[in-house]
Chain A
């Protein structure tokens, strides 16, 4: 599903080149559940952003579902992204001005799905995550765990093949974190959604089927 070859990422700081990622080679099959670990500044999030097409590498090749991500046109990339990738953030990043229902619905608006279909999709999702009663509340009226649940629901609404999560439990207490991890596991196993998560916690990383350790922008060989 994902092939990364010789991925480099750097910033120019005066005359110095500061490397964030160095020579990343990675191949991920559909249905994988990968945890990326590493200390602060090791390049975890940068790698995730490149995989998620939010950022470009300075050098290297990236194939996603057979398409060369860095070569195709912006519009095609945007389509590829919209159809296949869902994002979950540490700080949830829900839109404050929208209700739970509307937040979950938003990705569908960008995919030109008809109203009736949208309504049934959102209703299904609310049902599955047990948040029907909260659909008219605004994010500020929810607890952190509930907000992240909405964030995951929103990421999954468009039925992506890949779910990217940047420290999804970082702002939650351990019980809430566990619930989210259980949910990830379930999604991965039952629906075959590929998951890549960045985490600090050994315990959460263990939910993944595979762990990748990053140090100073390189994948550490085990």
Chain B
């Protein structure tokens, strides 16, 4: 019986190859898209899972209370882990881990900058690594360094790294006593090299009793069954007992952020863990399900569209003794055969597309072949899709009465088309929403990208500073200016794309006190505005020796409530300083936010970055070569590293750009599958109206009149879809845009444009099919039986 079903199913597929191809294509594309999204979701959800203590690892976060405003941050005090472990038995392991810094490693002539973490002894008990050489005890040796395999290779080539000496930060020597396998991409903890805190260094000795200032992260693992909220309170009590008076940390609270939430729930608002990437993950899970649903709907549509053809077979089988159940089984078998084929094709497609998809997402996405769930899910998708998509056609077809379908030619009535029309309308609603969303995402991106950020990122290059460049900075600057390629040079404590730090300690003398004022700050020296091409609105730029000078941006002046800022005195960190200038607002943080208040403090003894403004007409390649050779002359012990400000600025759009690209892809797929569905519906409607078309032709209808007649029926579906989709899209995008304080106003014209686009696409689809019917010789269609 099953064999007979499969034979019929197979022959049906082969005989109606164009139908089968359309149907399989829709299903395969839908499934492939769903599978890609699910693979991405899987990758996101398996972050950090390689750690053995995944379930019991926590990152200590502090909700700091700045006069009522809660700021959540990871910075913690150095002695906390040791004290916590000693005080509370439920804390199994605890370690201090630095935020990660760039460290210069020198081996002979080779100078490389690598990302380094500095940590304490429990580190390897909390996080899991594969040791290729050495073992976890390396952490107890202050003169040892742990390298990842690729760092070891880049420093020592193919030779053995174990036991070799490497110079760190041009300062001290360390011995490679462990090499670990490269850290998986899905790990929050990332490093090229790992260095222990040196317990005998004066800094660490001083930090042992520093319970107020924080500069590191603290991670811990708990014993199973620990009451986490209670432990959070106990830890805060511990901190309070070690500090005199209160400070923002003791006024606030602590959060033990579990490892399972590090990746996807990374945002905090008002001291609560609110979400983060999970929003996008959930959004795309929905998109995956919707695309699969669209593909299934399509499948149902196309299968029922062929009911006229199958009706006769149903009739015959019933007269031969088949019950309805057997016919149901037969049609469902057919649809499962199709969906299994589609799953196989889709898996192949996913395999082919995965490298491109990984590149697009900039994430290593792989197929977890070893995971039995994968195979279960694949089989599940095949079965569920087959059942779901096959059930409606199966019930519809198997319900035919043999007496009716065998008597002459059978044609479904208008009413039968209704559920299919609803399905196609639903598909169009989803597509219109997706297309509108895509439009608006791109508008927002474009809007933010072309925003006036208060300075120019074009032809602005940022080079890492070193103590060697600081020592002979004037000579270096002169050499640079003398190349003729360079207009201006300036130094800052952070690149122009990043604000160095935030402080709540700035007090303007003789101005209304504003309690919650948090100002971003940055250290810099002369030629700040000239180099960044920022606009001075009042006063002047820094001059040489302005050691007590300070420049604010307009936003900061506004928030401080200063009427005549120039010459006014502000106090910061116990020092009185004079405001020498005011600059127009600069967007150095998120381009989606309104301009943050900023303070520039004069500092000519040290810096982290050298900003170089290249002449408009200078050749970039030659200029960079010149800068490099001058840098090497003055700073031979440090690697030359640079970045272009516009590249750095564009980094800020990465997530949104990705969302934009993904929505283009999925909106496109949605429309495509939708059109396949419309195509199916049109062809079955035309089949039904063949005779009518013939009669009208005989009566003298022109091609245009017939096309209009046939299109009308479907264009109003698109119109209904449009009316439902627009408010939905408007509401959804409005909510998305609320994430950004600098945002585009959603214009009604976007929706008209989308509507027009969909109309054209729908018209094309309909007329592709209708033209053929309208051109058919009526003699053929009107011939009686």
Task: Give the distance to chain A from B406, nearest Cβ to Cβ, in Å.
Answer: 6
> Are A107 and B7 touching (Cβ within 8 A)?
no
- CB pair A78–B321 under 8 Å, yes or no, is yes
B6 to chain A, nearest CB (A): 12
The minimal Cβ–Cβ distance linking A167 to chain B, given in whole angstroms, is 12
Q: B323 — which chain A residues lie within 8 A by C-beta?
A: 78, 110
CB <8 Å contact, A93 and B315:
yes
Contact of B316 among A52, A93, A105, A158 (CB under 8 A): A93
Do the beta carbons of B320 and A154 come within 8 Å of each other?
yes
A98 pairs with B403, CB closer than 8 A? no
The yes or no answer to A184 lying at the interface (CB within 8 A) is no
B1, B12, B316, B403: the one within 8 Å of A109 (CB): B1
Q: Does B4 contact A (CB under 8 A)?
A: yes
Question: Given the complex, which residues of B lie within 8 Å of A54, measured CB to CB?
Answer: 318-319, 402-403
Could you tell me the distance between the alpha carbons of A102 and B316 in the complex, rounded to whole angstroms?
A: 13
> In the bound complex, how far is the Cα of B316 from the Cα of A158, in angstroms?
15
B537 located at the interface, meaning its Cβ lies under 8 Å from any Cβ of chain A in the complex: no
B317: chain A residues at CB < 8 Å are 95, 106, 110
Q: B8, A98: Cβ atoms under 8 Å?
A: yes
Interface residues of A in 91-121 (CB under 8 A from B): 91, 93-98, 102, 105-107, 109-111
If over half of B's interface residues share one DSSP class (helix, strand or loop), that class is named, otherwise mixed; here it is helix
Whether A97 and B403, one on each chain, are in contact in the complex, defined by CB atoms closer than 8 angstroms, is no
B-contact 0/1 string along A17-38, CB 8 Å cutoff: 0000000000000000000000
Q: Which of B8, B15, B319, B322 has the most CB of A within 10 A?
A: B319
Q: Which of A89, A93, A95, A110 contacts B8 (CB 8 A)?
A: A95
A87 touches B7 (CB 8 A): no
Chain A, range 49-82, C-beta contacts under 8 Å to B = 49, 52, 54-55, 78, 81-82
* B14, closest chain A residue (CB): A97
Nearest chain B residue, comparing its CB with the CB of A87: B319
Q: Are B320 and A97 in contact (CB under 8 A)?
A: no
Inter-chain contacts of A93 with B (CB < 8 A): 312, 315-316, 319, 406
> How far, in Å, is A164 (CB) from chain B's closest CB?
9
Does B769 make an interface contact (CB < 8 A)? Answer: no
Q: Are B316 and A111 in contact (CB under 8 A)?
A: no
Contact B321 A81 (CB under 8 A): yes
Contacts known (A78-B323, A82-B321); A55 close to B12, Cβ less than 8 A:
no
**B 391-415 contacts with A by CB, 8 A:** 402-403, 406-407
B317-355 contacts to A, CB under 8 A, are: 317-323, 326
Complex Cα spacing A106 to B7, Å: 12
Categorize the interface residue count of chain B. Answer: 20 to 34
Binary A-proximity of B284-327 (CB < 8 A = 1, otherwise 0): 00000000000000000000000000001101111111110010
Min C-beta distance of B277 to chain A, whole Å:
51
Give the Cβ gap from B430 to chain A, nearest Cβ, in Å: 35
Cβ of B471 under 8 Å from chain A? no
For residue B543, CB closer than 8 A to chain A, the reply is: no
- CA A93 to CA B319, docked complex, whole Å: 10
Within 8 A of A (CB), among B1-31: 1, 4, 7-8, 11-12, 15
A18 to chain B, nearest CB (A): 16
Q: Which residue of A lies closest to B312 (CB)?
A: A93
Contact check, A55 vs B403: say whether CB atoms are below 8 A apart: yes
- Residues of chain A lying within 8 A (CB to CB) of residue B11: 97-98
Query: How many positions in chain A have a CB within 8 Å of any CB in the partner chain?
Result: 26
- Among B11, B315, B318, find the residue whose CB has the most chain A CB atoms closer than 10 A: B11
Inter-chain contacts of A97 with B (CB < 8 A): 7-8, 11-12, 15, 313
Chain A residue, CB-CB nearest to B318: A54
Complex Cα–Cα for A94 and B317 (A): 9
Chain B contacts with A in 362-409, Cβ cutoff 8 A: 402-403, 406-407
Task: Specify the chain B residue showing the minimal Cβ separation from A110.
Answer: B321
Question: What is the CB-to-nearest-CB distance from A222 to chain B, in angstroms, rounded to a whole number?
Answer: 29
What is the CA–CA distance of A49 and B312 in the complex, to the nearest angstrom?
16
The distance from the CB of B556 to the nearest CB of chain A, in whole angstroms, is: 79
Closest to B309 in A: A96
CB pair B406 A89 closer than 8 Å: yes
In chain B between 699 and 725, which residues have their CB closer than 8 angstroms to a CB of chain A?
none
How far, in Å, is B327 (CB) from chain A's closest CB? 10
A110 to B313, CA, bound (A): 15
Which residues on the B side are within 8 Å of A107 (C-beta)?
320-321
Contact check: which of B1, B316, B402 meets A95 at CB < 8 Å?
B316
Specify which chain B residues have a CB less than 8 angstroms from the CB of A111 in the assembled complex: 321
Residues of chain B contacted by A154 (CB below 8 angstroms): 320
Give the residue among B7, B15, B406 with the most A Cβ atoms within 10 A: B406
Candidates A55, A81, A91, A102; contact of B7 at CB < 8 Å: A102
Question: What CA separation (Å) do A23 and B734 show in the bound complex?
Answer: 72
* A54 nearest in chain B by CB position: B403
- Which chain A residue shows the least CB distance to B11? A97
What are the residues of chain A within 8 A of B320 when measuring CB–CB?
87, 106-107, 110, 154
Q: A96 — which chain B residues lie within 8 A by C-beta?
A: 15, 313
Contact in complex: A110, B322 (CB < 8 Å): yes
Complex CA gap A102/B317 in Å reads: 12
Nearest CB to that of A111 among chain B residues?
B321
Alpha-carbon distance A107/B317, docked complex (angstroms): 8
Contact bitstring B54-81, A, C-beta under 8 A = 1, else 0? 0000000000000000000000000000
- How far does the alpha carbon of A110 sit from the alpha carbon of B320 in the complex, in Å? 8
Q: How far is the CA of A102 from the CA of B12 in the complex (A)?
A: 15
- A109 to B7: give the CA distance in the assembly, Å: 14
Known: A49-B403, A55-B403, A106-B4. A95 touches B313 (CB 8 A): yes
CB distance from A112 to the nearest CB of B (A): 9
Inter-chain contacts of A82 with B (CB < 8 A)? 321
CA–CA, A81 to B11, complex, Å? 29
Q: CB-CB < 8 A to A109: which residues of B?
A: 1, 4
Q: Using Cβ atoms and an 8 Å threshold, which residues of chain B touch A49?
A: 403
Closest-by-CB residue of B relative to A46 is: B403
Q: Which residues from A are CB-within-8-Å of B315?
A: 93
Q: Type the 1/0 row for A139-183, where 1 means its CB is closer than 8 Å to any CB of B.
A: 000000000000000100010000000000000000000000000
Contact B316 A110 (CB under 8 A): no
Chain B residues with CB under 8 A of A110: 317, 320-323, 326
Return B312 CB to nearest CB of chain A, in Å: 7
A94 and B321 contact, CB distance less than 8 A: no
Q: How far is the CA of A81 from the CA of B313 in the complex (A)?
A: 19
Q: How far is the CB of A136 from chain B (nearest CB, A)?
A: 13
Q: Given B7, B312, B326, B406, which contacts A98 in the complex, CB threshold below 8 Å?
A: B7
Nearest A residue to B785 via CB reads A91
Q: Determine if A102 and B326 form an interchain contact, defined as CB atoms under 8 angstroms apart.
A: no
CB-defined contacts of B316 to chain A, threshold 8 Å:
93-95
Inter-chain CA distance A45–B406, complex, in Å, is: 12
Q: Which interface residue of A45, A89, A93, A105 has the most chain B CB atoms within 10 A?
A: A93
For residue B4, which residues in chain A have a CB less than 8 angstroms away from its CB? 102, 105-106, 109
Distance between Cα atoms of A45 and B319 in the complex (Å):
14
Shortest Cβ distance from residue A144 to the other chain B in the assembled complex, whole angstroms? 14
| CA A221 to CA B1, docked complex, whole Å | 48
Task: Name which residue of chain B comes closest to A91, CB basis.
Answer: B406
Q: Which residue of A lies closest to B16 (CB)?
A: A97
CA distance A95 to B316 in the complex (A): 7
Of residues 76 to 101 in B, which have CB atoms within 8 Å of A's CB atoms?
Answer: none
The residue on B at minimum CB distance from A74 is B323
Can you report 25 A-B residue pairs in the complex whose CB atoms are below 8 A from each other? Answer: A49-B403, A54-B318, A54-B403, A81-B321, A82-B321, A89-B406, A93-B312, A93-B315, A93-B316, A95-B313, A96-B15, A97-B8, A97-B11, A97-B12, A97-B15, A97-B313, A98-B7, A98-B8, A102-B7, A105-B4, A106-B4, A107-B320, A109-B4, A110-B317, A158-B321
A residues sitting closer than 8 Å to B (CB atoms) are 45, 49, 52, 54-55, 78, 81-82, 87, 89, 91, 93-98, 102, 105-107, 109-111, 154, 158
Given contacts A78-B321, A110-B320, 9 further A-B contacts (CB under 8 A): A55-B403, A93-B319, A98-B7, A98-B8, A98-B11, A106-B317, A109-B4, A110-B321, A110-B326
Nearest 10 pairs between A and B by C-beta?
A82-B321, A110-B321, A97-B11, A107-B320, A93-B316, A87-B319, A54-B403, A55-B403, A97-B8, A110-B322
